[in-house]
Structure 1
């Protein structure tokens, strides 16, 4: 593991064994797998089926049935994406430990979801050399907490594939996509041990 080789701290055990991470994951999982959404999709599916049947005899209902069907597909795809995302996060958290990395974070000029800031996350050696770089939409609170874009983040996963970037403590994370060729730039920092 690169973090150990470079002398960075690696938390014992896999990330999901850490009580704070396990609790945060349960909250995320419960939110993504909300049964009300599934019940809503089932009700909308039944209503759509009824509108399609009625639309065969009454032409007025055909456009409404098509609109309801499109909304149903949108809802089902959204539920599927959330479930897939949670499953991917669980796979990473259940197979990798948290690694404590010094980071340099630079804002990217892209649009992001509300409450996030698009960033380039650069993982550093103790001397400040960039080891890896990735793109993530960090929660805005995390971005604001990193003075001058320098700080410590917890990393979970294989750095060659999408991995999780979290605040220290492993309770609030986001997916980070590695860049093929990280910038070959050093960041001058002092790490006190």
Structure 2
């Protein structure tokens, strides 16, 4: 298992085993493994809906007779070509999804959870790095409306309030609204130089973060640093009680 040196240096909580040893980590790994299949199924559904609209329209044009038959045949050719292009694009998307999901599963399998105080701010996605988004499994089954992601910037904070690392992320909307004042403890998994897994305490909700250049910031005001210390200590103590049962 990889050692999270910076979290240890700051005195933040670190799980004794890899993230996948926890219930939330196992569930997230299972969701990740299903992503390529979900993407393929979504693409197939789009194709079937397009065919359901296009085919009756084609038949109506063809049955119109005369010059319309030639138009209908030309439209059939265009539809077949579009379907082939769409199938190729879907295959590539599924292939890319399989590559990054395997990497993410490896992260939760090899790295422990780290408890970091974080500041989360809503960000403009235009012109920014677009992080990958994984919808928690229960949302696919029961609550698809809650899967709407919010583009945010997540800043991992040092004990003095300065920004240690920054990540672009897309999180479920209800998670964003649950982060009071944008300051909270989050569970982090992975090598902080690369793409990481983030989670609410207890790993009830997990998502991915893509590293950004950390802005140069001064330490927070004293009261902010004190708040950060309280958040880190309380969240770390609670996390340790969860990990040790």
Return the TM-score normalized by structure 1: 0.78
Change (3 A) 1:122 1:34: closer
**Structure number with bigger Rg:** 2
Q: What SS does the corresponding residue of 2:11 show, helix, strand or coil?
A: coil
Deviation at 1:141, TM superposition (A): 1.9
Distance in 2 between the 1:123 and 1:35 partners?
Answer: 31
Return the structure number with greater helix share: 2
SS in 2 for 1:33: helix
Higher relative contact order (CA 8 A, sep 6+): 2
The residue number in structure 1 matching 2:26 is: 22
Which 5+ residue runs of structure 1 have no aligned equivalent? 45-58
Structure 1 residues 39-88: Cα deviation after superposition (integer angstroms, max 9, x where no partner): x69xx9xxxxxxxxxxxxxx745323211211211221232233223212
Task: Kindly state the Cα deviation for residue 186 of structure 1 after the two structures are TM-superposed.
Answer: 3.4
Residue equivalent to 2:107: 92
Q: Which residue of 2 aligns with 1:109?
A: 124
Separation in 2 of the partners of 1:36 and 1:184? 43
Comparing 182-191 with 14-23, greater Cα deviation is found at: 182-191
Q: Residue 11 of structure 1: SS of its match in structure 2?
A: strand
- Aligned match of 2:173: 140
2:91 counterpart residue number: 76
145-154 or 61-70, which deviates more: 61-70
C-alpha change, 1:91 and 1:28, in structure 2 (3 Å) is: closer
| Deviations 1:108-152, CA, capped at 9 Å, x for gaps | 122688611111111112232221112111222221111111001
Structure 2 residue runs of 5 or longer lacking an equivalent are 49-72, 134-146, 234-245
Q: Which residue of 1 aligns with 2:8?
A: 4
Judge which range, 130-139 or 154-163, deviates more.
130-139
| RMSD of aligned Cα (Å) | 2.9
* Misfit runs of 4+, over 4 Å: 111-114
Where 2:108 maps in the other structure, the secondary structure is helix
TM-score (structure 2 length as normaliser): 0.63
Q: Distance in 2 between matches of 1:166 and 1:110?
A: 21
Distance (Å, rounded) in 2 between the aligned partners of 1:37 and 1:115: 19
The Cα shift of 1:34 comes to 5.2
Find the partner of 1:179 among 200, 209, 212.
212
Indicate how the Cα distance of structure 1 residues 183 and 105 shifts in structure 2: closer, same or farther if over 3 A, else same.
Answer: farther
Q: Per the alignment, in what secondary structure is the counterpart of residue 23 of structure 1?
A: helix
| Range 59-68 or range 13-22, more displaced | 59-68
Deviations 1:142-180, CA, capped at 9 Å, x for gaps = 211111110011111111111111111224222212222
Indicate the residue corresponding to 1:50 in structure 2: none
- Are 1:37 and 1:79, in contact at CA under 8 Å, matched by a contact in 2? no
Contact 1:33–1:83 (CA under 8 A) maintained in structure 2: no
Q: 1:178 to 1:154 in 2, by over 3 A?
A: same
